[in-house]
Amino acid sequence: MSQSTEPGENHILGMISSEDCARVFALLEPVTLTLGEVLCESGDRPSYVYFPVDSIVSLLYLTENGSSAEIAVVGNDGMVGIGSFMGGGSMTCRAVVQSGGHAFRMSVPLFDGEINQHGELMRLMLRYSQVLITQMAQTAVCNRHHTIKQQLCRWLLLSLDRLPGNELVMTQELIANMLGVRREGITEAARKLHELGVIHYRRGHITVLDRPALEQLSCECYKVVKKETDRLMPWPDRELEPVRGIRHLTAARVHQRH
């Protein structure tokens, strides 16, 4: 894991008070997520919950014929595996890595113990659940009422908000599968954005050149989700520096387990 990657770079973990972060961070294990990796299938009981840092995980719902559509993306704003604390136990969707990178994970038993014994993490998870529900609802509205170009703009913006740079490693076919639309529709929408100078596209890579223009071309769905995310899960004001030693404590715990 990169030396610059810290648990506090995830919104939920970063909002934990300085009094509690040492205890919580010691339960975490640093992991690297790879593009296309399936963290959990629909109906499975996950072994871990994941807190992405510079990676993105797509939550996909599947149909009987094998097609899928993305209902939400999870990055440094949240956690994969909210069913673990909502009582259901199992995942209702497939969680697949959309953009590879770093994350921290915690075993479900340890997570449940923290949730049950200490109220702060529970309060943060409830707030994040509201953010996730907002994103899911707005995605449903967007997919039903807005053009493919608007959907693509929204999807690009939500992804960029969860990445450190302005480039995404993603094929048009994969984007089409995420949005549940035909590849030809994504190709045409991407071509128009490229001609406008908003994005640069080469095989497997999309670079956003003009974010303000991308926001202007998007529908209101992106702003609705962002406003709710900023309200409920803002970046913490406190500096990360006081907890930088936690990584070494976390690594030591991982070493002891093996």
Chosen CATH of 147-218 out of 3.30.470.10, 1.10.10.10, 3.30.565.10, 1.25.40.10:
1.10.10.10
Query: What is the C-alpha to C-alpha distance for residues 172 and 93, in angstroms, rounded to an integer?
Result: 22
Six-digit token string for 182: 């035909």
Sign of the CA dihedral 225, 231, 232, 234?
positive
1-145 CATH fold? Jelly Rolls (2.60.120)
> What pLDDT score was predicted for residue 251?
42
60 bridge partner residues: 70, 94
Residue 202 phi, psi (nearest 5): -135, 165
Residue by residue, pLDDT tens for the chain (258 residues) are 444 579 999 999 999 998 898 999 999 999 999 999 999 998 899 999 999 999 999 999 988 887 888 999 999 999 999 888 887 778 889 999 999 999 999 999 999 999 988 888 999 999 999 999 999 999 999 988 999 999 999 999 999 999 888 998 888 888 888 888 888 999 999 999 999 999 998 888 899 999 999 999 999 999 999 999 999 988 765 443 333 333 444 444 444 444
Neighbouring residues of 65: CB distance < 8 A, sequence distance ≥ 6: none
- The angle formed by the CA atoms of residues 205, 208 and 209, to the nearest 5 degrees, is 125
Closest C-alpha among 64, 128, 49 to residue 95: 49
Helices (H) and strands (E) in the chain, counts: 11, 10
How many CA atoms, within 13 angstroms, populate the side-chain half-sphere of residue 40? 22
Q: Report the relative pairing of strands 29-33 and 101-107 from DSSP bridges.
A: antiparallel
First vs last C-alpha separation in the chain: 17
10 Å CB burial of residue 112 (0-12, 13-18, 19+) is: middle
3-state DSSP assignment of residue 61: strand
Measured CA to CA in angstroms, residue 107 lies from 51, 57, 73, 85 at distances of: 12, 18, 21, 12
Residue positions counted in the chain: 258
> What pLDDT score was predicted for residue 101?
94
Measured CA to CA in angstroms, residue 103 lies from 29, 76, 99, 143, 146 at distances of: 9, 9, 11, 29, 33
What residues does each domain of the chain span?
A: 1-145, 147-218
